[in-house]
Structure formats: C-alpha cells, structure tokens
Amino acid sequence: MQTRNLSSRTIRRALATIAIAVFAIVCGCSRISRLTNPAPALPEATATAGIAPVKIEINYEKRDDTLQTFTVTQYGGVSILSARSAANGEVASIARFEGGVPIWRFSANRTLPGIGASQHVVKVEYGNVPNGFSQDVPDSGPPAPLDPGYYIFTIERASGAVNYEALKINPDGSLQGYSAEPRAGSSFSLCCNVSADFAESASPHGSNPASAAP
C-alpha cells in the first residue's frame, strides 16, 4: 500500500495560509492536500475553538461503486506501541488509540428510489449529510466540531471496500494524517513514518469527550 504523507511542518506551513483543509481518502492510499485558492488565515483563538471546515474527497476503484457508510470517531489520545521497517524503507507504526466515541455517522438510504447516482459521493464536507443519506450519529442536529484531538475516518463502500485514515488536529489547527489499518482492539497500523510528535496520551482531566470513554 502506497501512501503520500506530508510532514507536520509542511502541513503547518500550508494551513497557516488557508482556512479549508481537503482530506482525500481513496481505496488503498490516502493523502492530505489543500485548496489551490487559499482563504485568509484563521485567528489563533478560532483555531483552538474549532478548525476550519474539513472536506473529504473519496475515490473508487470501481466506476459504479457507491458510498455506503461514513463514520468519524474521536479518540482521547494515542500511544505508539511498535514500529516496523518495510522493504521500501518506510516505517509503519502500531498505535493504540485511547477511548473511541463516534461523533458523526451517516449511511445510504437505499429505500429511496432512483438515488443510486447520488450515492457515488466524491466529496463530503464534515457536518453536511449528502443527498440520499441519513444521519445516524448524532440523533439530531450537526455533529460536534472537529476540535484539536485524534480522529479515525472510516469510509465504507457498497462494494465492501473499506479504508481508514487517522487524523490529528493540533491546537494551532495544523493537521497530521496517516493511512490506518485496524489491528487488535483499538490499535491501528499507521503508514508511514509517523512523526515523533503525533502520539499524545489524553490528560486525565482533559475536556476531550473521548477521554472519558471506557
């Protein structure tokens, strides 16, 4: 599996001049990129209260495939358990994510006639449910904002293809993202070359809602 990752320093410089992040999720690989027409930078106080809108781009290996379920899970912290070098020289890390609370999920409403084409979704803006889908989490209203912390984006397609992306939002609004594969329990294999400042355990008195999860 090939993954294109941007270093935290590169992403921090990019996000210093933009207000919208584009988070691309594809079958088999992933990347974080930015819009080509940057907007003014967010004030520091705004970035700590909630980051700018995040848009997720989704690709499909099969032309007629459609989106089935989209889930965002928030975690309270991350611990790196081990690292393993691959043949290409990159390093995959096994990380344990603490807690885990789904904060947004929507699924295809296949009871509606004639909506197959609308379910071939190529871009999702966090908090906005696409046409032809029904929100499962939360029960009503928009999801909680993507505050600084850890998230796993899970994209399930009708073909059965599923992929995951681990995202860390830093207090200054900068992003770190890695392709993820589930392991035992709440552990994921992150690819590749995880930054040394990615892992951070949750504070026992932190305000992150995921930190209170069992």
- pLDDT, tens digit, for every residue of 8-37? 444 444 333 333 455 555 443 434 333 222
The whole-number pLDDT of residue 164 equals: 94
- Does the pTM exceed 0.75? no
Domains identified in the chain, total number: 1
Q: Is residue 180, in this structure, part of any structural domain at all?
A: yes
pLDDT of the residue at 143? 95
| DSSP states along 51-71 | PPPEEEEE--SSTT--EEEEE
> Does any domain span residue 124?
yes
pLDDT at residue 35 in the model: 27
Instruction: Name residues of the chain where pLDDT drops below 70.
Output: 1-52, 112-117, 202-214
Over its C-alpha atoms, the chain yields an Rg (Å, rounded) of 17
Answer yes or no: is 3 within a domain.
Answer: no
Residue 198 within a domain: yes
* pLDDT at residue 53 in the model: 75
pLDDT, residue 117, reads 65
Q: What is the pLDDT of residue 136?
A: 95
Asked if the structure places residue 1 within a domain, the reply is: no
Sequence-distant (6+) residues with CB within 8 A of 143 are: 72, 103, 104, 126, 127, 137
CB distance 190 to 180 below 8 Å: yes
Tokens of 16: 């210093």
Joined tokens for residue 98: 């603490």
So what's the pLDDT on residue 173? Answer: 85
Q: Kindly tell me the burial class for residue 58, based on how many C-beta atoms sit within 10 Å of its own C-beta (0-12, 13-18, 19 or more).
A: buried
End-to-end CA distance of the chain: 32
* 20, 55 Cβ separation under 8 angstroms: yes
- Name the token pair of 159: 């073909």
In which domain, by residue range, is 206 found? Answer: 8-212
pLDDT of res. 8? 44
Does some domain include residue 203?
yes
With respect to residue 2, please indicate whether it lies within any of the assigned structural domains: no
137 part of a folded domain: yes
